[in-house]
Structure 1
Amino acid sequence: MTADAGDAAEWERRVREMRAEKDEFLASDRQSPVDPDLREAFDGLDYFDPDPAYRVEADVEVHDDPEALELTVRNGSAERFHHVATFSFTLPNAEGEAVEETLAALRAQGSAALFLPFRDKTTGQQTYDGGRYMDLHPDGDLDEVETVTLDFNLAYTPFCAFSEAFACPLPPTDNWLEVAIPAGERDPDLS
């Protein structure tokens, strides 16, 4: 086995392990968004198979004076974020051609994590109609890096897809991608 094959196998193992942990949380944790009456029958989310083509290096453009954005929340209210960086990367389209895309990296007041809500060509068909999210916890300051790894295999469905008790920000139009991303969580079917 080559080092690359070993790295790929380790990456896939970690992705599957994180998915199993999330499924366990959804099935049994008191803070799970899954209705308590449905948890006993819950046997896990539906995921796309891990695909390294959707784990990409993105160029980082840090914004020195981050623009404030009000994201519409599914319940009609709004949440405030700051557009702290833009990530530029390529993804394959349906024909396998590389397509250049960008994502606005957002940060909530007081948070160190970057929030990347997005829509793609699977939204409302194979994935939740409100879009999906990724969180990024960069090591160090974004000003000190030229690239970050975006792993769409970790894209997840917001809690509002499971329960109306949660209100989730909708992706800004800047984060509506022109390609299908068959990676990460599929639309949850809790019926």
Structure 2
Amino acid sequence: MSDDAAFDSERWRAELEEKRAEKEEFFADHPQSPVPPEDRDGFEGLEFFEPDPQYRVRATVSLADDPAADPVYMETTTGGEVRYLRTVTLAFDLERDDPDLADGTFELSGYEQEGSAAGTLFVPFRDKTTGQQTYEGGRYMELSADDDLTGGDEIVLDFNLAYTPFCAFSEAFECPLPPAENWLEVAIPAGEQFE
């Protein structure tokens, strides 16, 4: 979790740009890149929305009473299915400078896969940019809490870190598709683009 009073936008921007450059280098050169080897010479880099601190929001955490009692089965890009546990709901406000973009309070669910590292939340989502400026299968965020979360806690949700799943670059990967409860009826022009 982060303290907004100590938020340094210049440092945040520099760290974000550094992460983006590292990721592009990984995609271009690393043997485990999702870009197929035959396509790497033509890889021109990833596309991103401009860093925007309006899309770094604080979300209020609500914990699920018994995640195992109501598992979520996410369809995958290859027609399969993956079982996740909905462990939290994250409620957040968007207040933006652009009058053409809707503001309001929204919710996303955070999931854990059984057997995954505790404290890491998987947040797949779709929004009004999906299939237009971003990948048609949705985007992902992964959140880590410094401490065990309790109801009413706040956690930083930074959509500037939203990324395109590997299956967008190669059919060799199978990716979960965001469930309907994580379809936002609003545009989130932040993070990775994909056209």
Query: Structure 1 residue 133 and structure 2 residue 140: aligned?
Result: yes
Could you report, residue by residue, the CA deviation over 1:113-142 in whole angstroms, capped at 9, with x for unpaired residues? 110000000000000000000001111101
Greater Cα shift, 152-161 or 4-13: 4-13
Could you report, residue by residue, the CA deviation over 1:88-135 in whole angstroms, capped at 9, with x for unpaired residues? 001247625521110000000122211000000000000000000000
CA distance in 2, matches of 1:33, 1:171: 20
Paired residue for 1:152?
159
| Identical counterparts, % of pairs | 52
Greater Cα shift, 157-166 or 106-115: 106-115
Paired residue for 1:34?
35
Residue 40 of structure 1: how far off its partner (Å) = 2.2
Verify the 8 A CA contact 1:72 1:170 in the aligned structure 2: yes
Identify unmatched segments of 5+ residues in structure 2. Answer: none
Paired residue for 2:84?
81
Residue 27 of structure 1: how far off its partner (Å) = 0.5
CA distance in 1, matches of 2:39, 2:18: 23
The one-letter code sitting in structure 1 at the alignment partner of 2:78 is: N
CA distance in 1, matches of 2:65, 2:7: 39
Greater Cα shift, 155-164 or 29-38: 29-38
Verify the 8 A CA contact 2:131 2:137 in the aligned structure 1: yes
Verify the 8 A CA contact 1:133 1:156 in the aligned structure 2: yes
Aligned pair count reads 185
Verify the 8 A CA contact 1:23 1:43 in the aligned structure 2: no
Q: Secondary structure at the match of 2:51?
A: coil
Of 99, 108, 125, the match for 1:103: 108
Q: Secondary structure at the match of 1:179?
A: coil
CA distance in 2, matches of 1:134, 1:6: 20
Of 64, 67, 72, the match for 1:69: 72
Verify the 8 A CA contact 2:166 2:175 in the aligned structure 1: yes
The one-letter code sitting in structure 2 at the alignment partner of 1:110 is: G
CA distance in 2, matches of 1:157, 1:123: 11
Question: What is the TM-score normalised by the length of structure 1?
Answer: 0.91
CA distance in 2, matches of 1:98, 1:6: 22
Identify unmatched segments of 5+ residues in structure 1. Answer: none
Paired residue for 1:119?
126
Could you report, residue by residue, the CA deviation over 1:8-27 in whole angstroms, capped at 9, with x for unpaired residues? 00000011011011101100
Question: What is the TM-score normalised by the length of structure 2?
Answer: 0.90
Verify the 8 A CA contact 1:48 1:182 in the aligned structure 2: yes
Paired residue for 2:22?
21
CA distance in 2, matches of 1:145, 1:165: 40
CA distance in 2, matches of 1:97, 1:80: 33
CA distance in 2, matches of 1:76, 1:6: 42
Verify the 8 A CA contact 2:62 2:151 in the aligned structure 1: no
Q: How much is the aligned-residue C-alpha RMSD, in angstroms?
A: 1.8
